[in-house]
């Protein structure tokens, strides 16, 4: 089959790229061809990598770092065959898969784009796979009746988290099946790109858009006690010893070589689990809690408002048994692959 994928594969964070890469690889391994539907211009994509010029000093200070990041992501995007959305005709694809990622997070302007709901996409068969609403709730959809109608007209909806499942049920009256995020569909070795990290000391890898002052204090205290460097991936944080830019496919290697990982993100949590690292997750949203529950690793959650430094330290130092999580992942993966395979056969 000719498969079109409509997702944010061109965004400026590792998770967006890696979920797209994983879905592409799995579909190709099933014997189908894949193209990514480019829903925005490259000029619009590039703007995502840079802060607003309203804060000119911040813009100038981060310009070099962000330019390198853009070029690294652009290099890995060469793995994707792209087609502009305006060039998609009725017979371009046999099926268009919308997702995964937060493509139904209507709190964000990007995801109010009608294309993510199958609207004005001429392909006959359109499904949402591993879709997420992010932090949006049912009430948020009421202002977008056209998007709701688009959801109703899709040929299938499969979600990756419980909030999205609840939102879809309450919005269109259908309870969709849950599948895993595409990054769980591949063996972690599939993400292993050679990368010369050039760090000659044990380090904690931190991966988050931002940290609270309390989190920074705990991370710095732990690193000092354990004699570790603090390394940030993809994001520039002033409290870190090193802020590293690497490509999305090099991210896995950076996690593999870390002694500990501290993250607030969904995919930071997933790749810590896949690589069986000593980690804690400080969830930025319910979807992170969902994935910890699904994999049987909820004890790796750190609740900043309820737990103090000793709990933070003990959770990082206590050896994690990944046997149950690997069993849960395999079951979830097999179920999700079976659903995807069926969608591509029909």
Tens-digit pLDDT profile for residues 265-300: 999 999 999 999 999 999 988 899 999 999 999 999
Q: Are 178 and 165 a contacting pair, CB within 8 Å?
A: yes
The predicted structure's pLDDT at residue 304 = 86
Does residue 198 carry a pLDDT above 90? Answer: no
CA atoms within 13 A on the CB side of 311: 13
Tens-digit pLDDT profile for residues 311-328: 999 999 999 999 999 999
Tell me the Cα Rg of the chain: 20
Q: Determine which of 106-115, 189-198, 254-263 has the lowest per-residue pLDDT on average.
A: 189-198
Q: Determine which of 25-29, 117-121, 211-215, 303-307 has the lowest per-residue pLDDT on average.
A: 303-307
Beta bridge partners of 236: none
The predicted structure's pLDDT at residue 126 = 98
CA atoms within 13 A on the CB side of 331: 10
The predicted structure's pLDDT at residue 59 = 78
Beta bridge partners of 281: 263, 301
Q: How confident is the model at residue 346 (pLDDT cuts 50, 70, 90)?
A: low
Tens-digit pLDDT profile for residues 232-252: 998 889 999 999 988 999 899
What gap in Å lies between CA 14 and CA 258, rounded to an integer? 17
What gap in Å lies between CA 340 and CA 79, rounded to an integer? 21
What gap in Å lies between CA 172 and CA 155, rounded to an integer? 13
Q: Are 19 and 267 a contacting pair, CB within 8 Å?
A: yes
- Proportion of the chain above pLDDT 70, given as a percent: 99
Which residues, in sequence order, are CB contacts of 92 under 8 Å at separation 6+?
Answer: 2, 4, 83, 122, 123
Tens-digit pLDDT profile for residues 123-171: 999 999 999 999 999 999 999 999 999 999 999 999 999 999 999 999 9
Does residue 196 carry a pLDDT above 80? Answer: no
Does residue 192 carry a pLDDT above 80? Answer: no
Q: What is the mean pLDDT of residues 20-35?
A: 97
- DSSP letter string, 65-91: HHHHHHHHHHHHGGGS-EEEGGG--TT
Which residues, in sequence order, are CB contacts of 200 under 8 Å at separation 6+?
Answer: none
Does residue 116 carry a pLDDT above 70? Answer: yes
> Ramachandran region of residue 70, left (φ > 0), alpha (ψ -120 to 50) or beta?
alpha
Domains of the chain: 2-186+331-345 (3.40.50), 188-327 (3.40.50.2000)
The predicted structure's pLDDT at residue 214 = 95
The predicted structure's pLDDT at residue 329 = 96
On average, the pLDDT of the chain sits at: 94
Crossing angle of helices 145-152 and 162-172, rounded to 10°: 100
């Amino acid at each position: 089959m000719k498969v079109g994928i409509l997702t944010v594969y061109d965004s400026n964070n590792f998770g967006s790229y890696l979920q797209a890469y994983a879905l592409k690889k799995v579909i190709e391994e099933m014997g189908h061809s894949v193209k990514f539907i480019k829903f925005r211009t490259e000029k619009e994509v590039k703007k995502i990598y840079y802060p607003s010029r309203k804060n000119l000093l911040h813009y100038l200070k981060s310009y070099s770092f962000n330019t390198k990041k853009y070029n690294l992501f652009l290099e890995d995007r060469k793995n994707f065959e792209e087609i502009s959305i305006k060039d998609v005709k009725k017979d371009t694809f046999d099926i268009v898969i919308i997702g995964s990622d937060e493509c139904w997070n209507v709190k964000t302007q990007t995801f109010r784009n009608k294309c993510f709901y199958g609207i004005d996409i001429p392909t006959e068969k359109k499904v949402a796979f591993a879709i997420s609403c992010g932090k949006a709730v049912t009430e948020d959809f009421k202002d977008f009746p056209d998007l709701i109608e688009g959801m109703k007209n899709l040929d299938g909806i499969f979600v990756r988290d419980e909030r999205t499942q609840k939102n879809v049920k309450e919005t269109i009256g259908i309870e969709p099946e849950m599948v895993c995020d595409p990054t769980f569909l591949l063996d972690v070795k599939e993400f292993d790109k050679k990368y010369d990290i050039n760090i000659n000391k044990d380090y904690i890898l931190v991966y988050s858009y931002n940290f609270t002052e309390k989190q920074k204090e705990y991370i710095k205290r732990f690193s000092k006690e354990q004699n570790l460097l603090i390394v940030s991936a993809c994001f520039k944080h002033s409290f870190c010893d090193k802020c590293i830019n690497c490509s999305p496919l090099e991210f896995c290697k950076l996690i593999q070589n870390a002694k500990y990982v501290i993250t607030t993100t969904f995919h930071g949590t997933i790749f810590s689990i896949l690589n069986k690292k000593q980690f804690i997750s400080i969830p930025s949203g319910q979807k992170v809690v969902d994935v910890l529950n699904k994999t049987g690793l909820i004890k790796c959650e750190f609740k900043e408002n309820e737990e103090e430094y000793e709990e933070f330290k003990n959770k990082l130092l206590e050896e994690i048994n990944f046997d149950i999580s690997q069993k849960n992942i395999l079951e979830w993966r097999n179920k999700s692959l079976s659903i995807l395979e069926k969608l591509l056969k029909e």
